[in-house]
């Protein structure tokens, strides 16, 4: 704890007229909640939240406008979930529907990183990055801009409906709706070329579904960020319940250091600090809390760990000349040790964090390997089922197959097909004649090829009656790359 270097100023600490509307003892499901009027906090964490709000909103609104040159006939939008082509473009990566496991892998990786961060520093996601937190913070800032800070807003809500009140309320709600509209508007740009869609939106030529999606997102953003706010975190979001499984005594939480703060009570200038705690019961920490809770009640599911109460309390501690960080990021282990006048060493590397780090390495490694093995040619082999085989007039056995070849490259490619691992087999491709016919596959198209594999009777009858495994070899003539695709040859019992 750092004691301020300067002499305490001649202070008067104002006690806030505020109660924790969401106090531990008063909580009930479906109870009517009094409104929460978060006061503007000043300090390190508030500044950090402003910066992260600008960065996260900036990323969300601007990413669809980022261009990326992929050559002719391909979209030049850096991030695009192209529904018409059924393709996900992510900078240089182009993910096809059958490769959606890459997206699943990315989501698993993101979840593991979230688990790791939560086990180290609690609900960092909730406090700084969750869209609900970011948009609610933005809506509260708008409300503060039009209606004033906490006291002014409370006064306005209690006042009769004058022109001034109607004006302030109307412009607040209109600004919230505008933010909702911009949010919904930005979302649809992730699915269609942004400049084209913007033109269509303004000329009224966009699809009805696009207008409907924007309308729904406008209303949900307005409703969740402007109206419901903390109710979403408390009653709708499962994460506060789940994250309890990731934290332990060595996780850093926003904590009130009661061993230092208690017994609390108001404090007058020149009054001794002996026999009392540092908490002057000013309730500044409650006044800034967007969740309407009192951090001094201990760890609570409702606390999103936004750390604004740290800023508020540090302000007060500076004013009264006591060491800062009465509320701070701390571990339960350290608080228990501090209560006994010792300290607990931070333990960042512990069993659960090591497990998460190991899993992140494993999933990341698998994804990198899968990416390096990624083929730009996709082929599926379907064996005929009815009949499994045909006995030719000379007694030879023939099996029919359908090969589906997908050329993921952006120019037509030529392929040859052969059979590997099946002695004396001959291959005929559709109606073609001659050995190794060349099959042209246009780009972006799944081409179907009929293939007939014939094995002389004597050889066929020496193969396993339950099916003999072999491979189709698809060779790209233009790139000289080769892929192998397993299948099975079947013969009659006798």
* Residue ranges in 34-93 that form contacts with ligand SF4 under rule CB under 6 A: none
Q: Applying CB under 6 A, which part among 297-305, 376-384, 387-395, 444-452 lies near ligand SF4?
A: 297-305
Least separation in angstroms between CB 126 and ligand SF4? 9
Least separation in angstroms between CB 372 and ligand SF4? 43
Number of residues that bind ligand SF4 (CB under 6 A): 28
10 Å CB burial of residue 34 (0-12, 13-18, 19+) is exposed
Q: What are residue 402's DSSP bridge partners? A: 382, 450
Vertex 303 angle, CA 227 and 289, to 5°: 60
**Of these, 112, 140, 192, 308, which contacts ligand SF4 (CB under 6 A)?**
308
**Of these, 36, 247, 316, 463, which contacts ligand SF4 (CB under 6 A)?**
316
Binding mask of the shown chain, residues 229 to 258, with x at each position contacting ligand SF4 by CB under 6 A: -------------------------x-x--
CB neighbours of residue 227 within 10 Å: 12
**Of these, 140, 192, 295, 328, which contacts ligand SF4 (CB under 6 A)?**
295
10 Å CB burial of residue 356 (0-12, 13-18, 19+) is buried
Least separation in angstroms between CB 291 and ligand SF4? 4
Least separation in angstroms between CB 110 and ligand SF4? 24
**Of these, 192, 312, 379, 417, which contacts ligand SF4 (CB under 6 A)?**
312
CB nearer ligand SF4, residue 168 or residue 283? 283
CB nearer ligand SF4, residue 3 or residue 446? 3
* Residue ranges in 265-284 that form contacts with ligand SF4 under rule CB under 6 A: 279-284
Vertex 66 angle, CA 65 and 69, to 5°: 125
CB neighbours of residue 212 within 10 Å: 10
Closest CA to 426 of 452, 448, 457: 452
**Of these, 80, 179, 293, 403, which contacts ligand SF4 (CB under 6 A)?**
293
**Of these, 20, 186, 234, 306, which contacts ligand SF4 (CB under 6 A)?**
306
CB nearer ligand SF4, residue 311 or residue 476? 311
Check residue 307 for interaction with ligand SF4 (CB under 6 A). Answer: yes
d(CA 190, CA 210): 12
**Of these, 119, 251, 305, 335, which contacts ligand SF4 (CB under 6 A)?**
305
CB 71 within 8 A of CB 443: no
Cis bond leading into 263, ω under 30°? yes
Q: Applying CB under 6 A, which part among 291-299, 401-409, 420-428, 441-449 lies near ligand SF4?
A: 291-299
**Of these, 197, 326, 328, 425, which contacts ligand SF4 (CB under 6 A)?**
326
CB 447 within 8 A of CB 441: yes
The secondary structure of residue 67, as a DSSP letter, is: B
* Residue ranges in 355-384 that form contacts with ligand SF4 under rule CB under 6 A: none
d(CA 404, CA 407): 10
CB nearer ligand SF4, residue 99 or residue 311? 311
Binding mask of the shown chain, residues 129 to 158, with x at each position contacting ligand SF4 by CB under 6 A: ------------------------------
- Joined tokens for residue 200: 């269509």
Cis bond leading into 479, ω under 30°? no
244-248 long-range CB contacts below 8 Å, 24 or more apart?
A: 244/301, 246/115, 246/118, 246/119, 246/352, 247/118, 247/119, 247/122, 248/119, 248/350, 248/352
Residues that bind ligand SF4 (CB under 6 A): 254, 256, 261, 279-285, 288-289, 291, 293, 295-296, 303-309, 312-313, 316, 326-327
């Amino acid at each position: 704890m750092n004691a301020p270097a300067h002499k305490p100023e001649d202070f008067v600490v104002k006690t806030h007229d505020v109660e924790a509307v969401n106090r531990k003892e008063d909580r009930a499901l479906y109870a009517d909640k009094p409104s929460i009027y978060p006061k503007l906090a000043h300090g390190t964490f508030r500044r950090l939240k402003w910066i992260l709000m600008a960065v996260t909103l900036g990323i969300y609104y601007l990413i669809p406008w980022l261009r990326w040159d992929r050559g002719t006939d391909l979209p030049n939008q850096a991030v695009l979930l192209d529904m018409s082509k059924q393709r996900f473009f992510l900078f240089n990566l182009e993910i096809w529907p059958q490769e959606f496991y890459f997206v699943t892998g990315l989501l698993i990786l993101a979840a593991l990183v979230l688990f790791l961060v939560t086990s180290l520093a609690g609900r960092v996601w909730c406090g700084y990055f969750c869209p609900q937190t970011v948009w609610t913070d933005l809506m509260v800032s708008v409300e503060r801009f039009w209606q004033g800070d906490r006291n002014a807003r409370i006064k306005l809500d209690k006042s009769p409906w004058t022109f001034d009140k109607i004006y302030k309320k109307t412009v607040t709600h209109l600004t919230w709706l505008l933010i909702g509209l911009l949010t919904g508007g930005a979302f649809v740009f992730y699915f269609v070329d942004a400049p084209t869609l913007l033109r269509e939106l303004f000329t009224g030529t966009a699809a009805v579904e696009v207008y409907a999606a924007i309308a729904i997102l406008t209303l949900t953003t307005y409703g969740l960020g402007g109206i419901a706010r903390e109710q979403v975190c408390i009653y709708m979001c499962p994460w506060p319940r789940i994250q309890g499984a990731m934290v332990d005594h060595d996780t850093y939480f926003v904590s009130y250091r009661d061993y230092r703060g208690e017994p609390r009570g108001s404090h007058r200038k020149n009054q001794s600090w002996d026999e009392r705690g540092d908490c002057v019961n000013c309730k500044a920490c409650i006044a800034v809390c967007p969740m309407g809770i009192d951090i001094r009640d201990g760890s609570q599911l409702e606390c999103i760990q936004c750390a604004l109460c740290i800023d508020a309390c540090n302000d007060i501690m500076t004013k009264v000349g006591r060491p800062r960080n009465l509320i701070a990021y701390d571990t339960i282990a350290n608080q228990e040790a501090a209560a006994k006048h010792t300290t607990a060493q931070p333990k960042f590397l512990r069993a659960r964090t090591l497990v998460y780090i190991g899993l992140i390495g494993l999933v990341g490694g698998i994804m990198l390997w899968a990416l390096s093995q990624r083929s730009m040619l996709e082929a599926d082999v379907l064996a005929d089922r009815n009949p499994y085989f045909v006995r030719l007039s000379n007694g030879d056995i023939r099996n029919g197959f359908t090969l589906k070849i997908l050329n993921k490259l952006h120019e037509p490619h030529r392929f040859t097909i052969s059979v590997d691992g099946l002695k004396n087999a001959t291959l005929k491709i559709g109606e073609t004649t001659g050995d190794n016919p060349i099959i042209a596959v246009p780009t972006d198209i799944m081409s179907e090829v009929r293939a007939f594999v014939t094995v002389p009777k004597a050889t066929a009858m020496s193969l396993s009656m339950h099916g003999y495994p072999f491979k189709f070899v698809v060779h790209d003539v233009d790139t000289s790359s080769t892929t192998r695709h397993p299948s099975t040859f079947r013969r009659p019992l006798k």
